[in-house]
């Protein structure tokens, strides 16, 4: 294929709710551009976009797919995003790397929850948006109702650029407002007959034309002046206004058609090639250090890797966007993360599993290469004289977790390698080897997401593994002050062991000062602070260690050993073996032996004194609490609220956002197991949610008793 310049390149993401027909629309876009000679379909498992065995099995997109088509001397790179929220990683990367989005909406249903979720990402990344109302040929198509939901949810920038003359099984006519022409298709779709608008549609077309011209003029003062002077705009002026409106997200033009029948697809491509902003009109990208890198083919070569896939007989395939300069065959670029050089021995323009060989790619273009040594998703590669790095794709936080282990003990390494490969292909699958929980934890976006991982392990990697309930990362702390002392004494021929430690512990609060006097169980303790150490803990919270030794009862050289003993018990709390946090320890007295005292003696004395004091200090188990935002249709609010209350949720508030109700709540992690499945069942898949860690909070007393009994039983078994 030919080499395209930056101003000839268009990068569009196909986004929208699952079932909108994005994959089928992409098929027609490639067919219209002559990249493929025959259109495939999802049921026949032969589409360009959904080309993996996994997607064939699911009959839906799992990964973001990279394709291109050629139209009107433009190269249109198409990033087909998965519609299901479980596979949002492919959606986010597709939108992030595009320069515009085509929001595909099923006219049977109008705006769905997935549409709104995808639009939030489009809005967050500030991408120009074209709305495409698809499946106008379906027997349940309702264009007017669908458009009404679009206008209600997307607001005043929405304006019709087309409307169908008819819908349903006999759909064959589209009225184009920009060109003021009528497109009539045969029953099989394809190339339309373009004519003047029939009289029955003329009045509505004229009204919509005036509305579109006004919207186009609103985004440019000069065009607004021309609009008032000439009582309208020329087609060229209108296109210029639409482009500016798209860039400012002040105008969302609505197109219509049938991707399945290839009706209206050619006109959509024509609009993208003529009006949608090209790569050279995209804003400069900021590096991690805040430096702006313009999309300029004359600049230093740089690219960003946004997707990695693994193909049999080939290995890793790295998909990238050229951020600046030009990349050509044989060029060496430096990976900003590893500082290693990577040679681009081959360059390709991908379309699904297929690839067209190219010799050069200019700024703004999207391509792929193979046989990179140590480059993966979110890596930046730069040419000579440059060393900047682009920020990584902001993937969403996980919402679902499970533990996993190999069925055969000899497969641990094989399982680890397979999970690493799966993470490389889908960075929203996060693998955690938890020392604290003594489990391998897989984090993902939902139960279906992690079921897909299990399928891959079974079918692709031939590793037999099983899922287990994940343990909860509880924390232990104290609620009051307590005193304890412990003498470690051991004599068994030769030098013995002796160390005695007296300590007081109390809850630690950020910024609080050590006390000089405490009263515990009716007894007064005077404390003289000689030194203090604050130790932030990797698992959260702090240990505040206070040396109150006077008169040399414990030599200063033994204090680090006492601290080590305490820290060992902090890492394995006395109640459930969970990490302890937010405790202040005063070591105020003790005894030594001139011969038998050593570090191990004081470490053991400190550890045991701390354990005893902890159990007498009103110990409390803390549980992780998450902020949860649930987006739900109003007719399912009651069911979702009841379910949340049954999960010990504290509802913080409710609000309406563009047609959906938003419930904000704090929910314990222990109650969020399989929440994605439950929510989908309650709402027929119409609700979605997000979650992120907030804080640790005390667990209710009855639940603490249950946990203590379970831990004791577990210890007895071991």
The CATH number that applies at residue 417 is 3.30.70.870
The C-alpha torsion from 600 through 604 and 605 to 606, rounded to 10°, is 100
CA geometry: angle 356, 362, 364, nearest 5 deg: 100
* Residue 220 included in any domain: no
pLDDT at 243 > cutoff 90: yes
Mean pLDDT within 4-32:
95
Same domain, 489 and 428: no
* Residue 237 included in any domain: no
* CATH number of the structural domain spanning residue 328: 2.40.30.10
Same domain, 484 and 374: no
Query: In whole angstroms, what is the distance from residue 444 CA to residue 451 CA?
Result: 10
Q: What are phi and psi of 644, to 5 degrees?
A: -65, -40
Tokens of 417: 């390698």
Across 450-556, the runs of DSSP E, i.e. the strands, are: 465-468, 475-477, 482-490, 497-507, 517-520, 523-526, 531-536, 542-547
Same domain, 638 and 698: yes
Same domain, 613 and 691: no
* Residue 128 included in any domain: yes
Same domain, 172 and 255: yes
Same domain, 165 and 41: yes
Same domain, 601 and 649: no
Q: Report the candidate in 265, 246, 275 with the shortest Cα–Cα distance to residue 34.
A: 265
* Cross-strand bridge partners of residue 603: none
Longest Cα–Cα distance of the chain, Å, equals: 112
- pLDDT band at 44, cuts 50/70/90? confident
- pLDDT band at 88, cuts 50/70/90? very high
Query: In whole angstroms, what is the distance from residue 321 CA to residue 325 CA?
Result: 11
Same domain, 652 and 638: yes
Q: What sign does the CA torsion over 397, 401, 403, 404 have? A: negative
pLDDT at 461 > cutoff 90: yes
Same domain, 298 and 354: yes
Scanning 219-304, the segments in alpha helix (DSSP H) are 221-230, 235-247, 265-274
pLDDT at 659: 60
> Which residue shows structure tokens 């792929």?
368
Tokens of 173: 């006519």
- pLDDT digits 0-9 by tens, 53-67: 787 877 778 889 999
Q: What are phi and psi of 218, to 5 degrees?
A: -60, -25
Residues in contact with 511: Cβ distance below 8 Å, sequence separation at least 6, in sequence order: none
pLDDT at 58: 78
Determine contact, residues 563/545, Cβ cutoff 8 Å.
yes
Tokens of 619: 């110990």
* Residue 552 included in any domain: yes
* Residue 224 included in any domain: no
Query: In whole angstroms, what is the distance from residue 420 CA to residue 152 CA?
Result: 43
Residue ending a domain, choose from 238, 259, 280: 280
Enumerate helices (H) and strands (E) in the chain, giving the number of each: 16, 40
Query: In whole angstroms, what is the distance from residue 248 CA to residue 234 CA?
Result: 21
Same domain, 195 and 97: yes
* Residue 65 included in any domain: yes
Query: In whole angstroms, what is the distance from residue 278 CA to residue 651 CA?
Result: 45
- pLDDT band at 718, cuts 50/70/90? low
Identify the H or E element spanning 710: helix 701-717
Residues in contact with 90: Cβ distance below 8 Å, sequence separation at least 6, in sequence order: 61, 62, 63, 64, 65, 81, 82, 426
pLDDT at 469: 93
What percentage of the chain exceeds 90 in pLDDT?
A: 77
Identify the H or E element spanning 183: strand 181-184
Identify the H or E element spanning 584: strand 583-591
* Residue 453 included in any domain: yes
* Residue 390 included in any domain: no
Residue ending a domain, choose from 567, 587, 618: 618
- pLDDT digits 0-9 by tens, 89-143: 999 999 999 999 999 999 999 998 789 889 989 999 999 999 999 999 999 999 9
Q: Report the candidate in 181, 179, 151, 150 with the shortest Cα–Cα distance to residue 165.
A: 181
Same domain, 61 and 130: yes
**How many structural domains are present in the chain?**
5
Q: Report the candidate in 328, 289, 302, 320 with the shortest Cα–Cα distance to residue 384.
A: 302
522-529: Cβ within 8 A, 24+ apart: 523/483, 525/483, 525/588, 527/586, 527/588
* CATH number of the structural domain spanning residue 666: 3.30.70.240
CA geometry: angle 319, 322, 326, nearest 5 deg: 125
Cα Rg, the chain, nearest whole Å = 32
* CATH number of the structural domain spanning residue 24: 3.40.50.300
Count the alpha carbons within 13 Å of 627 in the hemisphere toward its beta carbon. 9
- pLDDT band at 656, cuts 50/70/90? confident
Mean pLDDT within 354-380:
94
Residue 264 Ramachandran class (φ > 0 left, ψ -120 to 50 alpha, else beta)? left
Burial (CB < 10 A; 0-12, 13-18, 19+), residue 494, is exposed
Task: Write down the mean pLDDT value for the chain.
Answer: 92
pLDDT at 493 > cutoff 70: no
Same domain, 275 and 312: no
Q: How far is CA 269 from CA 73, 190, 558, in A?
A: 11, 13, 76
Determine contact, residues 113/687, Cβ cutoff 8 Å.
yes
- pLDDT band at 716, cuts 50/70/90? confident
**Can you give the residue range of the structural domain that contains 678?**
622-703
């Amino acid at each position: 294929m030919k080499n395209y310049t930056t101003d000839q390149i268009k990068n569009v993401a196909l986004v929208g709710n699952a079932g909108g027909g994005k994959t089928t629309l992409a098929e027609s876009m490639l067919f219209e551009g002559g990249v493929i000679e025959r259109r495939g379909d999802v049921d026949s498992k032969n589409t360009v976009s959904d080309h993996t065995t996994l997607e064939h099995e699911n009959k839906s997109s799992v990964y973001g797919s990279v394709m291109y088509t050629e139209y009107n001397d433009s190269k249109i790179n198409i990033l087909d995003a998965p519609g299901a929220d479980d596979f949002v990683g492919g959606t986010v990367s597709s939108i992030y790397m595009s320069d515009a989005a085509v929001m595909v909406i099923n006219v049977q249903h109008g705006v769905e929850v997935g549409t709104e979720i995808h639009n939030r990402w489009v809005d967050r990344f500030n991408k120009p948006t074209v709305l495409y109302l698809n499946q106008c040929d379906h027997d349940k198509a309702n264009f007017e109702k669908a458009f009404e939901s679009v206008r209600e949810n997307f607001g005043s920038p929405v304006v019709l650029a087309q409307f169908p003359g008819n819908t349903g099984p006999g759909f064959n006519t589209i009225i184009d407002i920009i060109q003021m022409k009528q497109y009539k298709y045969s029953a099989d779709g394809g190339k339309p007959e373009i004519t003047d608008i029939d009289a029955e549609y003329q009045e509505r077309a004229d009204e919509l034309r005036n509305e579109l011209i006004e919207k186009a003029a609103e985004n440019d003062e000069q065009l607004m002046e021309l609009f008032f002077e000439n009582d309208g705009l020329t087609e060229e002026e209108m296109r210029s206004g639409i482009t500016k409106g798209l860039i400012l997200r002040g105008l969302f033009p609505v197109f219509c058609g049938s991707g399945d029948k290839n009706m209206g697809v050619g006109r959509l491509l024509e609009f993208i090639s003529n009006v949608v902003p090209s790569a050279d009109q995209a804003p400069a990208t900021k590096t991690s250090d805040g430096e702006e890198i313009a999309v300029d083919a004359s600049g230093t070569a740089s690219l960003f890797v946004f997707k990695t896939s693994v193909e049999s007989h080939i290995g890793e395939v790295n998909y990238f966007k050229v951020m600046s300069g030009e990349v050509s065959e044989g060029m060496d670029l430096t990976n900003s993360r590893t500082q290693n050089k990577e040679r681009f021995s081959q360059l390709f323009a991908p379309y699904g599993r297929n690839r067209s060989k190219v010799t050069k790619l200019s700024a703004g273009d999207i391509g792929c290469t193979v046989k990179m040594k140590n480059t993966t998703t979110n890596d930046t590669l730069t040419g000579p004289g440059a060393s900047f790095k682009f920020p990584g794709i902001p993937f969403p936080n996980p919402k679902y977790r499970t533990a996993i282990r190999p069925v055969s003990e000899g497969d641990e390494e094989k399982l680890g390698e397979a999970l690493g490969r799966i993470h490389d292909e889908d960075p929203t699958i996060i693998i955690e080897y938890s020392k604290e929980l003594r489990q391998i934890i897989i984090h993902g976006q939902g139960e279906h997401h992690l079921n897909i991982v299990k399928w891959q392990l079974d079918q692709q990697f031939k590793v037999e593994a099983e899922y287990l309930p994940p343990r909860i990362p509880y924390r232990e702390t104290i609620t009051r002050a307590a005193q304890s002392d412990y003498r470690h004494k051991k004599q068994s021929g030769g030098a013995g062991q002796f160390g005695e430690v007296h300590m007081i512990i109390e809850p630690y609060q950020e910024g609080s000062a050590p006390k000089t006097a405490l009263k515990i169980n009716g007894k007064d303790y005077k404390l003289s602070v000689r030194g203090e150490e604050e130790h932030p803990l990797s698992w959260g919270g702090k240990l505040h260690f206070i040396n109150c030794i006077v008169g040399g009862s414990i030599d200063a050289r033994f204090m680090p050993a006492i601290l080590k003993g305490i820290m060992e018990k902090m890492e394995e709390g006395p109640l459930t073996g969970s990490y302890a946090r937010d405790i202040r320890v005063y070591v105020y007295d003790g005894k030594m032996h001139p011969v038998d005292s050593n570090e191990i003696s004081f470490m053991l004395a400190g550890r045991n004194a701390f354990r005893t004091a902890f159990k007498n200090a009103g110990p409390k188990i803390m549980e992780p609490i998450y902020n949860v935002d649930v987006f739900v249709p109003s007719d399912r609010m009651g069911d979702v609220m009841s379910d949340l209350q049954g999960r010990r949720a504290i509802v913080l508030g409710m609000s309406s956002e563009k047609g959906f109700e938003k419930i904000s709540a704090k929910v314990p992690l222990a109650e969020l197991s399989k929440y994605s499945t439950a929510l989908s069942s309650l709402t027929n898949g119409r609700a979605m949610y997000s979650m992120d860690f907030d804080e640790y909070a005390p667990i209710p007393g009855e639940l603490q008793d249950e946990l203590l009994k379970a831990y004791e039983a577990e210890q007895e078994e071991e």
